[in-house]
Every structure is written in C-alpha cells, then in structure tokens.
Structure 1
C-alpha cells in the first residue's frame, strides 16, 4: 500500500546504520525522506500552470534540493557543535530529476561525536531538510509568479523503526 501524500508534508525516517571501531568508534546514520507532499502543495497552489511548464519547475526544484542538501546537513551539524566525517545525499533513482522527491541522507560522525542521540540526529536532519525546502519553495513560487506573501507550513511526519 502506498502511503498517502499530503500537501506540504515531508516524511522522514532516521536510523543508525552502524558503529565501527572500539578505541575510536565511528557512528553512521541514514535518513530516508520523501518531499512529494511539498510539490503536491505547490501544484495545488498553481494548478493553472500548463503541464510542460510545471514539469520544468519540478525538475529544477529536485535538482536544487539534492545539490544543496548535502552542504546544509554538514553546516547544521557543525553549527550544533558536531564534527562530521562524511555526508552524502542521494536520490532514490539515481538522478535528481527522476527521483520523484525521494532520497536518503547518509552521515558518518567523527569518533568524538559517537555518543550523539538518535533524536538529535533526527532533529538536525529535519532542520536541514526544512531550510533547503523553504529556499526552493520560494524559488519555485517566483517561477510560478505566485504573489502570495504567506509562507506555507511544511510539516514533518517522522517514522521510527
């Protein structure tokens, strides 16, 4: 069964993928996300646009999201005082424009951050994802000539294992 996609809603599932090393433990987390609800909200807001124009906006939105998210995740973790060894963001189907808004964030924390709690990682992933989405929703709205000054509320539905 396919989950219901609600306008302006993101789904996020964060889980620990592993710990390696005894003397210097390294911890990794994975965050699976789905932002199709944000695009559904944008599409409903701009339903009068021709389909071919909308496809171009959607493609630009996905490319920008995946290009910017990796840097934003790294910055959010570092601003919160956690050093990061590796961050990678990948779309579900290989190319951002064919990802259908689904992807994953993979992060490896340095040994001095191995005791970070999963709730903190979940919060930081949510913060980074929301910040990037707000930026690209604004860009998409400008391309749609949407004059609304009201910013949509992007909700995050989190799943746990």
Structure 2
C-alpha cells in the first residue's frame, strides 16, 4: 500500500526575487497570445509594473508553488470596497498536467477564505476556449459577452465575462476538490 501524500499546493505573495521567472512565463508565446498586451514585455517595464502594483493595497500579486517550486502567477485586483475582485493567472509552460486546476483551487480559496471576497470576476478572449472551460469547471458563471471589445492591432475580439460568488464557491469547491 502506498502511503505517500500528494504535494500540497501553496499560494504566497510575489517578491522581487520572482520577477524574472514571472516575466519569462508572461512572455512565453503560448501565454502572451491570449493577453490584452501581447508584445514582449521588457524587464524594466515589468519592474515598473511590479513597483506600482506593490504599492496598491487592492492588488494581490501571488505565486503558486508545489513542493516549493514556483509553478504559476495569480493577480487578484479588488475593484470595489464591496468585496469584488478581478483575477488573472498563468502557469509555467512546462508545468505538469493538472497544475492549472491546482492553481485555480488554491487561488480561489485564497480569494474567498483569506481575502474574504464576495465575488471573483474573470475575462477571457472568446477564442481562448480553454480558459473559458477552465472557469466554468471551477464553478464560474458566464455573465456576459463584450462583442468586438478588444482590438489586437489586426482584428477585433469579443471578451467573455465570468463571475463566481463566494456562496457558489463554497458549494462548487466540494465538487472540484475531489
């Protein structure tokens, strides 16, 4: 009988020591192609973003780890004092299968249990079917579509808006954490 336990995922605050790793993930072509800002970000631009964001108490820049190895990045930005936030995330291109799901579970637990948010909102370009399915599998509801909302320099893209209430997460996580 195997008594080994599965690795425990962990969310921690991002530090300056994480900057180069997070930048490498963000600039990876498979990540960048689904972002609103699709150019390759320079280190100085990335450092400026980190410095600005770190000063804003409504922004939570987080690193997702498994067995003390950073595997992904999560941003949770509180947009109102009513407990509503927007999130964004990405994982390392070489992360093991299932890492995204683990990141989602850990980040949502952090958002609702630690930050005590009432609602987490996400957006995905309509062409990013994988992200939309990911959100829905975590219990998010599609709340709308912003038609031809984003111009990438060549064509317009619609944006899918998704939302998850704390009360919905308390029910959904029992199913997705199995």
Normalising to structure 2: TM-score of the pair? 0.29
Relative contact order, higher structure (CA 8 A, sep 6+): 1
TM-score normalised by the chain length of structure 1: 0.31
Structure with greater helix percent: 1
